[in-house]
Amino acid sequence: MTDVFLMLVVFGAVFALGYLLIRRVPQMLHTPLMSMTNAISAVTILGALLLFAVETTPVEKVLGALAIVTAIFNVAGGFVITDRMLAMFRRKDTPRVEFRQPQGLERAAARSGKDGT
Amino acid sequence: MLTGLLVDLAVIVVLLAGIAQFRTPPGARRGNWTAALALAGALAVVLYRHRLQDVPLVVVVSALGVLIGAWVAVRVTMIQIPAMVAFQHGAGGVAAFLVAYVELTRSGREPLTAAAEIAALLGLIVGAGTFSGSLVASGKLANRLRQTPTVLPGHNAILVALAVVLGALGIWAAFLGAGISLCVVLTILIVGSAALGIVFAVRIGGADMPVLISFLNATAGLAAALCGVAIGNRLLIACGATVAASGSILTHVMCRGMNRGLASVFTGIKARPAAAPMAPSSIRPDPAADVAEAVSPAGDADPISRSVELLREARRVIVIPGYGMALADAQEEVVRLGERLVELGKEVKFAVHPVAGRMPGHMHVLLAEAEVDYGRLYELKDINHEFAETDIAIIVGACDVVNPAATERSDTPISGMPILKAHEARHVVVCNLDERPGYSGVANPLYGYAKTVLVWGDAQETIGRIRAGLS
């Protein structure tokens, strides 16, 4: 019973602390925040790994393996996407003045780049 | 026991330190990797404490997951981010209900405690519901499913009936001993929860998507935390709790941004009567092209040259991007226009409404991709008082979030919704696709103001022409 109590305390305390910290995250960072918390929520990887801490039946092996793949997909994908997004945020102290391609070409280049991905 | 507790505590502190750095983009980048470090630490702790069987299998599937995850992450484009994030909520749900299922059915071990069993059953239901709901959300956001709400006959009754059946099945499962019948009941429970998730998610569409995606963020975290209770792992509980907190906050912010209650979004009660028959312009994917062609260059040369003229005289300009800008893929043009205005010595700011995109903060990421100077991005509460001293507000693909009817009238579906006060600016330039109302279906009186210049058409083209006129 003390275990259950301790677990509830952990949940409550971390939820409250997280709430206080996250409430102050600016809107600008809400998408990266959600993307990162996605990676964090894939801590179920721990549960999936622990399935393999004891002898497993073939069915359990398959389900456990599937759980590991989906969870670790989230971990790896989540952190990498978040980093990609955040890397795009730039501050410019001086307005950029640079040569730009004619509009049509530029747009075509942007389009083909996007289509390629 | 004590060292174990301290180690867990250390991991949790590192995780929270990561989240605490989400204040500025560079800080957030560090925070992201700090959180990754915390997760790696949690992984190391678990691997140190337990000897795993089937190590080759675990290593191979882990490597596979990392490869797929990284491959997808590198290729996804920013416009696809909401669909991708929703899909990941779903993947988190799958992992949660699979873990819960195996924990519940496993026979070779000492039986679960009552609390663990209840948590596992709840984790199974929440995980499966999150999984199917997220796939529906992802499909809608990726434009593979119809984006408008799908309302079944007796939608709420179906939801309640499903929930009751699931509750009964769950209680039954709790009293069944391990065996084949338990497996069957749990499988039915998973399928039923998945059905509940689908029925729940199909009704939400369009501008309400940010609420759904934030809510699924919270349930994915909750499912993880429940799994943690089921297997008695504090780290899992703590990580799940932070995610649940984050999802709850974002859900709340999105609801407040629309002045709608969570219940009204999810149950459709107080549904927007005007929304149903309308083909909401803000969520139609690509009619931009045909309409843009219909507008002949000569026909609307006047509003464009008028806008150029006004912009030349202006000193302070605020740009208001909406989801229509993203649909027209005009963010590059909009940012370039801003840069051109800065070169001309104007003060340029971007005002972003909390629910402007399809997920919280989506618009900021799209503008960042177009290399906007993020120091120019302002939140509603920080910029709203500045409109009165602004010469021109340029609206690009936004309607509901600048609709003065929200504050001036009390009988519309958006009444009470906080808006960007573009109507207080000296002049307003509206670069929308056409004059149709936004998702709410409420006509925008701003279009009729004498100080408003209406530039209908594909924003990528119209903004480009305004920019050309300024150079």
CA dist B389 → A94, B435, B463 (Å)? 24, 27, 23
Residues B113 and B232 in one domain: yes
Contacts of A92 in chain B (CB under 8 A): 373, 375
In a domain, B236, yes or no: yes
- Residue B30: name the closest of A41, A72, A17, A29 by CA: A29
Residues B232 and B87 in one domain: yes
Residues B288 and B163 in one domain: no
In a domain, B49, yes or no: no
CB within 8 Å: A55 and B65: no
Residues B287 and B430 in one domain: yes
Of B213, B236, B267, the position where a domain reaches its end is B267
- Residue B421: name the closest of B435, B391, B401, B447 by CA: B401
- Look at residue B281 in the predicted model and tell me its pLDDT: 39
The count of structural domains within chain B is: 2
Of the candidates B220, B237, B245, the beta carbon closest to that of A22 is on B245
List pLDDT tens digits, range B215-241: 999 999 999 999 999 988 899 999 999
In a domain, B59, yes or no: no
- Residue A40: name the closest of B32, B418, B255 by CA: B32
List pLDDT tens digits, range B281-334: 333 333 333 333 333 344 444 899 999 999 999 999 999 999 999 989 999 999
SS3 of A14-41: HHHHHHHHHHCCCHHHHHHHHHHHHHHH
Residues B287 and B262 in one domain: no
Residue A96 pLDDT greater than 50, yes or no: no
Question: Would you call A112 an interface residue with chain B, using a CB distance cutoff of 8 Å?
Answer: no
**Helices and strands: H and E segment counts in chain B:** 18, 6
Pick the range with the lowest mean pLDDT from A45-59, B181-195, B297-311, B325-339: B297-311
Angle, alpha carbons A108-A110-A112 (nearest 5°):
65
CB within 8 Å: A75 and B69: yes
Question: Would you call A17 an interface residue with chain B, using a CB distance cutoff of 8 Å?
Answer: yes
Provide the CA B89 distance to its chain's centre, in angstroms: 11
Residue type, A93: D
Q: Do the Cβ atoms of B109 and B175 come closer than 8 Å?
A: no
Of the candidates A39, A45, A47, the beta carbon closest to that of B231 is on A47
- Segment 40-79 of chain A within 8 Å of chain B by CB: 40-57, 60-61, 63-79
SS3 of B289-322: HHHHHHCCCCCCHHHHHHHHHHHHHCCEEEEEEC
Contacts of B52 in chain A (CB under 8 A): 49, 52-53
With tokens 């999984």, the residue in question is B131
Q: Give the phi and the psi of residue B373 in degrees, each rounded to 5.
A: -80, 110
Tell me whether residue B284 is exposed, middle or buried, using C-beta atoms within 10 angstroms of its C-beta: 0 to 12, 13 to 18, 19 or more: middle
Residues B221 and B297 in one domain: no
In a domain, B4, yes or no: no
Residues B330 and B460 in one domain: yes
Token digits of residue A20: 């206080």
**Average pLDDT over all residues of chain A:** 81
Q: Is B400 a catalytic residue?
A: yes
List pLDDT tens digits, range B437-467: 888 888 999 999 989 999 999 999 999 999 9
Return d(Cα B295, Cα B301) in angstroms, integer. 10
Return d(Cα B435, Cα B453) in angstroms, integer. 12
State the average pLDDT over residues B10-33.
95
In a domain, B17, yes or no: no
DSSP class of residue B395 equals E
Residue type, B90: G
Residues B293 and B256 in one domain: no
List pLDDT tens digits, range B35-73: 999 999 999 998 998 888 888 999 999 999 999 999 999
Q: Give me the residue spans of the domains in chain A.
A: 27-91
Higher pLDDT, residue B191 or B289: B191
Expressed as residue numbers, the domain containing B84 is 76-267
CATH number at residue B392: 3.40.50.1220
Residues B422 and B320 in one domain: yes
Residue of A nearest to B221 (CA): A41
Name the catalytic one among B400, B411, B434, B458.
B400
In a domain, B53, yes or no: no
In a domain, B55, yes or no: no
DSSP class of residue B22 equals B
Residue B425 pLDDT greater than 90, yes or no: yes
- Look at residue B3 and give its three-state secondary structure: helix
CB within 8 Å: B217 and A38: yes
